[in-house]
């Protein structure tokens, strides 16, 4: 019997071509779209390409019909609101910068959605992520690796996947470059071959996330002071939820020099600003750490660490602090280490694990 696989189809070129590839390889393919939002909102960065509103469902269904595969729409709006949207708002209200794609992958795509795939009798769940999975046969362990296309690699947003999940996931595009995916999709006549690239946050249609937070947080957003590193009052901010570490624009300060957000003090509803050098840091704490490749020996790990999706990664030393807490020390200072973002650990192309940035212990200004 053919092995059954559910392909998470969002109506974008990546997931559509994924479905085509797997059917060509002889799998029993079922297409399924997650409905996670009421209105269509384009494609989502670092996710399955879309939040599956009406247009996304229509495009995915059209591709499924063209490929001659069954198609389902799975309603996960409640899961998405609980696990992703509320987390997104809660983190900004705390003065942290969330990463909704990582949480969506863990809780929704490879959590609730994978469970529904199982209900459909599927052995595998496939997505259009640009990442690769390899099996270490001797250790009996699955590895998560970077995608071949370095400019599209999405391994960063997948570090939370467990061994059980990695064993049931297929990432066919891990060996492809995005430009080739579009070309091949055009050659085989997929109608979405030239669909635009994704937007930053799948469930927010506006260029800014501020109106969304205003509608969700309301009374939790209050203006407050902007201080420099010496405690001098420089101005007023519009609400800490609207700012992130390293931000330069939108501060409304006329000081004659470029200033950046260097800290967010949620307890005092305050922003701290400084010069560009003050945004650099080399030492920070990470909590809720997950390991795909557990450390050996004394636990100290040498790795390349990425502190946000588009960060190139930098050499660092990781030292254990508790059960799931680690201290990360960069060899050279990095810009805008941001609480709330994921720190993901690599050795060459392999993801070792990752966690969530809790606080910056030392910056260049305090070294």
State the pLDDT at residue 106: 95
Whether 13 contacts 3, CB under 8 Å: no
For domain 280-363, give the CATH number.
Answer: 2.40.30.10
| pTM for this entry | 0.91
**304 - beta bridge partners?**
315, 346
State the pLDDT at residue 200: 65
Calpha distance 68→341 (Å, rounded): 41
Name the 3-class secondary structure at 118: helix
Considering the chain, tell me which residue range(s) the CATH 2.40.30.10 domain(s) occupy: 280-363
Considering the chain, tell me which residue range(s) the CATH 3.40.50.620 domain(s) occupy: 4-187
Tokens in use for 58? 């229509």
Whether 340 contacts 99, CB under 8 Å: yes
Q: How buried is 275 (Cβ within 10 angstroms: 0-12 exposed, 13-18 middle, 19+ buried)?
A: middle
Name the 3-class secondary structure at 273: strand
State the pLDDT at residue 364: 59
Residue 328: count other Cβ atoms within 10 Å of its Cβ.
25
State the pLDDT at residue 43: 36
Blockwise average pLDDT, block size 10, the chain, 367 residues: 92 96 97 79 37 76 96 95 95 95 95 96 97 94 97 97 96 97 96 81 81 88 95 95 94 90 96 96 97 90 97 97 92 97 98 97 62
Class for the domain spanning 222-274 = mainly beta
Give the position of tokens 């059960």. Answer: 323
- Is 101 among the catalytic positions? no
Calpha distance 38→32 (Å, rounded): 17
Whether 104 contacts 203, CB under 8 Å: no
> Roughly how many angstroms between the first and final C-alpha of the chain, as a whole number?
63
Integer Rg of the chain from CA = 21
- Catalytic pick from 41, 51, 89, 104? 104
- Is 202 among the catalytic positions? yes
Considering the chain, tell me which residue range(s) the CATH 2.30.30.280 domain(s) occupy: 222-274
Class for the domain spanning 4-187 = alpha beta
The total number of residues shown for the chain amounts to 367
């Amino acid at each position: 019997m053919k092995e059954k696989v559910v392909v998470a189809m969002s109506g974008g070129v990546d997931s559509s071509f994924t479905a085509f590839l797997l059917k060509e390889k002889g799998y029993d393919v079922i297409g399924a779209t997650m409905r996670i939002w009421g209105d269509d909102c384009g494609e989502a960065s670092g996710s399955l390409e879309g939040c599956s509103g009406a247009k996304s469902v229509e495009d995915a269904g059209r591709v499924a019909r063209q490929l001659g595969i069954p198609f389902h729409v799975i309603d996960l709006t409640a899961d998405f609101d609980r696990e992703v949207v509320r987390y997104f708002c809660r983190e900004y209200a705390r003065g942290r910068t969330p990463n909704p794609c990582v949480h969506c992958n863990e809780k929704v795509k490879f959590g609730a959605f994978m469970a529904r795939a199982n209900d459909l009798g599927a052995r595998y769940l496939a997505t259009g992520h640009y990442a690769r999975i390899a099996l270490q046969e001797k250790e009996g362990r699955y590895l998560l690796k970077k995608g071949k296309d370095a400019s599209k690699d999405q391994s960063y947003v997948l570090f939370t996947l467990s061994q059980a999940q990695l064993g049931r996931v297929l990432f066919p595009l891990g060996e492809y470059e995005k430009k080739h995916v579009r070309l091949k999709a055009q050659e085989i006549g997929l109608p979405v071959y030239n669909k635009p690239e994704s937007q930053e946050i799948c469930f927010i249609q506006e260029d800014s996330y501020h109106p969304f937070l205003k509608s969700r947080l309301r009374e939790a957003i209050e203006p407050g002071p902007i201080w420099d590193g010496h405690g001098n009052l420089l101005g007023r901010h519009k609400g800490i939820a609207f700012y992130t570490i390293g931000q330069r624009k939108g501060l409304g300060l006329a000081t004659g020099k470029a200033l950046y957000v260097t800290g967010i003090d949620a307890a005092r509803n305050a922003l701290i600003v400084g010069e560009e050098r003050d945004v650099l840091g080399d030492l920070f704490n990470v909590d809720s750490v997950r390991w795909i490749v557990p450390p050996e020996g004394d636990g100290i790990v040498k790795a390349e660490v990425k502190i946000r999706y588009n960060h190139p990664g930098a050499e660092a030393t990781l030292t254990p602090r508790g059960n799931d807490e680690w201290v990360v020390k960069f060899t050279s200072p990095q810009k805008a280490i941001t609480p709330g973002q994921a720190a993901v650990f690599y050795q060459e192309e392999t993801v070792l694990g990752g966690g969530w940035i809790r606080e910056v212990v030392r910056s260049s200004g305090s070294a």
